[in-house]
Structure 1
Amino acid sequence: MNLHAIRAIYLFEMARSWRTLSQSLLAPVISTSLYFVVFGAAIGNRITEVQGVSYGAFIVPGLIMLSLLMQSVTNASFGIYFPRFTGTIYEVLSAPLSYLEITFSYVAAAATKSIVLGLIILATATLFVPMRIDHPVWMLMFLVLTALTFSLFGFIIGIWADGFEKLQLVPLLIITPLTFLGGSFYSIDMLPPFWQTVTLFNPVVYLVSGFRWSFYSIADVHVGISLGMTLVFLAICLGVVTWMFKTGYRLKA
């Protein structure tokens, strides 16, 4: 494994984030704070508790997951699309690097940014509501696995997209609605039986449920199923990335 090259790409991607610090960290934190103000004040006055947890504390895992998914996809997709747009991707492809090393470099950088952001949002949340983390190891595991999985998904989008508009298409029209409808701000037990069944087809439900369980030991879906679904999606993304590099899909054209 070419650790020197992996480190070079990783540090380059991280340096790009520090140059746009306000966009990378400050803007998502401000947006999340607004969610606390709006949902905590407006809805929290009407829904005091959900499954024994105050509503303000209940939505914390969902807010972190919302930002984590969006930032993972956005960071990874822009990270690989920009070299394609400028033509510098051919220098990377011609270097003595395997496709796994290239993928790992970009995905690790995108996941690192998302994890740092998630931890910052978690720290910000403590300023608004009292909260606890019953299973900190599981919390970190879900945080890392979700960041890696959706950074891989964003990497796929960055290769698939042939314009800046398509980079925004999937996060805005697919990821955001699925997250809002995936139990980020409510428990699916509050839905009618028919819609509870429909909601279980939303993959984000399993991510949010497992992550919330690590905080309060409550979940809409068993934590083992949540972990399994996350690993399945990770495996699918790895398979798609492998196929893209082996076939040269939109990389060698």
Structure 2
Amino acid sequence: MNWYAVKAIYLSELARTWRTPMQSIASPVLSTSLYFIVFGAAIGSAMVSIDGISYGAFIIPGLIMLTVLTESTSNSSFGIYMPKWSGSIYEVLSAPVSAVEIVLGYVGAAASKSLILGGIILLTARFFVDYSILHPGWMLLFLLLTCITFSLLGFIIGLLADGFEKLQVVPLMIVTPLAFLGGTFYSISMLPEFWQKVTLFNPVVYLVSGFRWSFYGVSDVNVGVSLAMILLFMFSFLVIIYWIFRTGYKVKV
């Protein structure tokens, strides 16, 4: 394993975050804070509690997941697409660096950014809503796995995209709607029985449910199933990345 190459790619990608703090950190934190103000403080004060949890506290895990999903996907896709766009990807491919090391560098940096962002939002939420974390270890595990999984998805998008506009298609048209419909602002038990079953086909439901369980011990889906689904998504994305590098599709051709 060429750890020098992994470190170089990782630090280079992290440096891009510190060069654009307003876009990378301040903007998503501000957007999420507005959700806390509007839904948590204003609307939440008029809402009944859900499963014995105040509405403002109930939406915290969902809002963190919403931000982490979109930021992980966007950061990773942009990080690998820029070398493709500038042509420097061929220098990386011709260097003594394996596909595993490339993925570790780019995906590791994107996941680290999202993990830091999730932590900042978690601290920011304390200014608006009181909350507790029943299982902090599980909370960190779910957050880390989600950051890695959707950074892998973003890496795939960046490899396959052939234009800047296509980088935003999946995050804006697929990931964000699925997050909003995945129990971010509500419990799926509040839906009619038919729609409860339909919602189970939304993969984000399992992420939000497992993450919320780590906070309050309540979930819409069994926590074991949530963990298994996250691992399944991660494995599926790894298989796709392996196939892309193995065939060179959209990378070497």
| Matching residue of 2:129 | 129
Superposed displacement of residue 42, structure 1: 4.1
| Matching residue of 1:150 | 150
- Name the CA distance, whole Å, in 2 between partners of 1:62 and 1:240: 27
- Name the CA distance, whole Å, in 1 between partners of 2:195 and 2:168: 28
Residues 107 and 148 in structure 2, CA contact (< 8 A), matched pair in contact too: yes
- Name the CA distance, whole Å, in 2 between partners of 1:135 and 1:74: 29
- Name the CA distance, whole Å, in 1 between partners of 2:208 and 2:43: 19
TM-score norm. by structure 1 comes to 0.99
Superposed displacement of residue 131, structure 1: 0.4
Unaligned stretches of 5+ in structure 1?
A: none
Once the two structures are superposed, residues 201-224 of structure 1 have per-residue CA deviations (whole angstroms, 9 ceiling, x without a partner) of: 000000000000000000000100
- Name the CA distance, whole Å, in 1 between partners of 2:17 and 2:235: 27
Q: Give the letter for the 2:153 counterpart.
A: F
Q: Map residues 50-199 of structure 1 onto 2, 5 A cutoff.
A: 50-199=50-199
Residues 182 and 208 in structure 2, CA contact (< 8 A), matched pair in contact too: yes
TM-score norm. by structure 2 comes to 0.99
| Matching residue of 1:33 | 33
Q: CA RMSD in A?
A: 0.7
- Name the CA distance, whole Å, in 2 between partners of 1:84 and 1:76: 13
- Name the CA distance, whole Å, in 1 between partners of 2:37 and 2:57: 13
Identity of aligned residues (%): 64
Superposed displacement of residue 41, structure 1: 3.7
- Name the CA distance, whole Å, in 2 between partners of 1:3 and 1:45: 51
- Name the CA distance, whole Å, in 1 between partners of 2:180 and 2:126: 22
- Name the CA distance, whole Å, in 2 between partners of 1:128 and 1:24: 22
Residues 76 and 154 in structure 2, CA contact (< 8 A), matched pair in contact too: yes
Q: Give the letter for the 1:235 counterpart.
A: F
- Name the CA distance, whole Å, in 1 between partners of 2:215 and 2:45: 22
- Name the CA distance, whole Å, in 2 between partners of 1:112 and 1:64: 15
Aligned pairs, number: 253
Q: Give the letter for the 1:98 counterpart.
A: S
